[in-house]
Chains A and B, each alone.
Chain A
Amino acid sequence: SAVISQKPSRDICQRGTSLTIQCQVDSQVTMMFWYRQQPGQSLTLIATANQGSEATYESGFVIDKFPISRPNLTFSTLTVSNMSPEDSSIYLCSAKISLEAFFGQGTRLTVV
């Protein structure tokens, strides 16, 4: 497995602002992922972030709203831009180790 550290663990933000979530893995990984989990719902993949290439976004998610960086094999960031109350959710970072995926502890975002 892996230790995946995500921060902040929670935040309350004003609408119209942006928040950057950081994800650090304790080993080098090729594939990292960002998910959103809305209250009482399952996980929805936002994008896949591979080091050295642009992130691949899923349908319904765009780079202008959710820019992602992947500067090296252990780190990634997700920015939630121009936030609205609809962006209130839990955001989860994940990393693929061998054939399995592991998750960080999540960021609980509330937009007011």
Chain B
Amino acid sequence: QKEVEQNSGPLSVPEGAIASLNCTYSDRGSQSFFWYRQYSGKSPELIMSIYSNGDKEDGRFTAQLNKASQYVSLLIRDSQPSDSATYLCAVNSGGSNYKLTFGKGTLLTVNP
């Protein structure tokens, strides 16, 4: 059973702070990793993808991948109330057959 684990949350941070979201995965052969943001009542929106070890930055978002530790994280700098949402970690556990396994998500609340 391929699993993706996330901090259950909720995670509460003040406006302007750095929010750190973490995810671990069980399938060592996984090659691609994604973070989705899901607002209440809405569908998931892809915000970051990462494929190689290290950091990938896009605006206020930084994804970090460590395949040896089977760990992927998302940092949100200068958090805004509009960042309040559930963040889903997804891992392609199907290789070339492409099958995403999702974590249960972490609810982030940014307090003004």
Contacts and interface: CB of A to CB of B under 8 A. Distances in A.
Interface of A: 1, 31, 33, 41-43, 45, 48, 92, 96, 99-106
B60 interface: no
B109 to A, nearest CB: 16
A102 B46 contact: yes
Contacts of A102: 46
Interface of B: 32, 34, 42-46, 49, 51, 88, 90, 92, 97-105
B98 A31 contact: yes
A105 B88 contact: no
A101 B46 contact: yes
Contact of B88 (A42, A100, A106): A42
Given A100-B34, A101-B34, A101-B100, A42 B105 contact: yes
24 contacts: A1-B46, A33-B100, A42-B88, A42-B103, A42-B104, A43-B88, A45-B100, A48-B97, A48-B99, A99-B32, A99-B51, A100-B34, A100-B46, A100-B49, A101-B46, A101-B90, A101-B98, A101-B100, A102-B46, A103-B44, A103-B45, A104-B43, A105-B43, A106-B43
